[in-house]
């Protein structure tokens, strides 16, 4: 007699997947705006295209993941922060072009669907979306037995925002003499984790719960510090015309991200020491004997976002940021050059 198999025998638990989706539904619904037209679980998410007073709305989209920061989540069993990281990263990536987010989609894949873990991940995604005024309108949860190790998963996000064409921030107005304003990071955010994990857990021999005096917290707590969104800090400036360029400091650090917005004939000079360098970066450099150049092209070094502004607008920019309670630092300037960055 032929043995009877089910999908569950092959490693896919439909009941667990349904449980996870039920948990997601309530979390996502809490992010809905009046423009959301479908419930979670539809084949496609529908969003009413109402752009308010925009004369010529332009859609801006981005997709990203959290990278090997997920390894720290696996080690600690803490899963409600990586979702917030995902949203913060995506929000910042469209913010640099002046866009506000409209809606967000997520993708979660695991070897075995654990509803409690999925709920924690989406809890973080939903929290990030609420902070940014962004609706979580759908996504995908994929159970892929034999593809991921036990207890492991991957997560990715896709965001769509909008900006009025007349208010696009593209760096084209940047010129020599402009000032660089740095907004602080809170840690590594979501970049440089392959090197950081090697230095912490191999070179130094830390475990995730090792208390590190230089950091004032455990290694795991330091590496799970969130990747914040900067929308709230600069929201009131997006249509002012005073921001000539924005740079999200992600992979490539302070050396390789600014050239992405610099026009021909310009370069950036950054003054090292013009902002407080977070202790984690000094520790990482010490543990691995990492050169300054390698540090600055791998990590954000304490700066999560750079604003490029005219000196004539500096007073108004500073007043706005101070009113928002946002720390900020004058970290350098634009000079004539070949779209490069020098740090000195």
- Residue 260: give its domain's CATH number: 3.90.650.10
Domain count, the chain: 2
Domain region containing 147: 8-167
Do residues 14 and 163 share a domain? Answer: yes
pLDDT tens, residue by residue, 213-265 = 999 999 999 999 999 999 999 999 999 999 999 999 999 999 999 999 999 99
Do residues 136 and 14 share a domain? Answer: yes
Q: How many CB atoms lie within 10 A of CB 176?
A: 12
pLDDT tens, residue by residue, 129-149 = 999 999 999 999 999 999 999
pLDDT tens, residue by residue, 106-117 = 999 999 989 999
- pLDDT at position 17: 64
Pairing of strands 135-143, 100-110: parallel
- pLDDT over threshold 90, residue 79: yes
Record the pTM.
Answer: 0.92
Do residues 160 and 195 share a domain? Answer: no
235: DSSP letter: G
Partner residues linked to 106 by β-bridges: 139, 157
Do residues 314 and 271 share a domain? Answer: yes
Tell me, yes or no, whether 162 lies in a domain: yes
> Among 125, 146, 167, where does a domain finish?
167
Tell me, yes or no, whether 116 lies in a domain: yes
pLDDT tens, residue by residue, 275-328 = 999 999 999 999 999 999 999 999 999 999 999 999 999 999 999 999 999 999
- Mean pLDDT over residues 152-168, rounded? 97
Do residues 133 and 210 share a domain? Answer: no
Residues with Cβ within 8 Å of residue 277, at least 6 apart in sequence: 301, 302
Q: What are the start-end ranges of the H helices in 30-185? A: 69-76, 82-95, 115-132
Do residues 16 and 161 share a domain? Answer: yes
Percent of the chain with pLDDT over 90: 88
Do residues 201 and 273 share a domain? Answer: yes
Tell me, yes or no, whether 1 lies in a domain: no
- pLDDT over threshold 60, residue 152: yes
């Amino acid at each position: 007699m032929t043995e009877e198999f089910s999908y569950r025998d092959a490693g896919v638990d439909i009941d667990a997947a349904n449980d996870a989706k039920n948990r997601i539904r309530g979390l996502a619904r809490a992010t809905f705006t009046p423009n959301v037209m479908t419930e979670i679980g539809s084949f496609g998410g529908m969003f009413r295209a109402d752009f308010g007073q925009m004369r010529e709305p332009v859609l801006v989209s981005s997709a990203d993941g959290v990278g090997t920061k997920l390894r720290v989540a696996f080690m600690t069993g803490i899963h409600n922060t990586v979702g917030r990281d995902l949203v913060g990263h995506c929000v910042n990536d469209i913010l640099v072009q002046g866009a506000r987010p409209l809606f967000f989609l997520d993708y979660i894949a695991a070897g075995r669907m654990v509803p409690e873990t999925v709920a924690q991940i989406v809890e973080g995604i939903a929290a990030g979306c609420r902070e940014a005024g962004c609706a979580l309108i759908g996504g995908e949860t994929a159970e892929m037995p034999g593809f991921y190790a036990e207890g492991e998963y991957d997560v990715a996000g896709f965001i769509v925002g909008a900006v009025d064409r007349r208010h696009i921030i593209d760096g084209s107005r940047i010129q020599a003499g402009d000032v660089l304003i740095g907004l602080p990071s809170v840690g590594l955010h979501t970049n440089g984790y392959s090197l950081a994990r090697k230095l912490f857990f191999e070179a130094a021999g830390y475990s995730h719960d090792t208390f590190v005096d230089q950091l004032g917290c455990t290694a795991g707590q330091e590496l799970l510090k969130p990747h914040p969104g900067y929308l709230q800090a600069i929201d009131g400036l997006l249509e002012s015309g005073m921001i000539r360029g924005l740079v999200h400091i992600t992979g490539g650090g302070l050396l390789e991200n600014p050239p992405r917005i610099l026009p021909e004939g310009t370069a950036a000079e950054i003054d090292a020491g013009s902002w407080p360098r977070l202790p984690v970066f000094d520790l990482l450099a010490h543990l691995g004997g990492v050169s300054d150049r390698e540090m600055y092209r791998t990590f954000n070094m304490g700066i999560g976002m750079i604003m490029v502004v005219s000196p004539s607008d500096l007073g108004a920019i500073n007043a706005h940021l101070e009113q928002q309670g946002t720390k900020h630092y004058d970290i350098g300037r634009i000079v004539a050059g070949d779209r490069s960055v020098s740090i000195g």
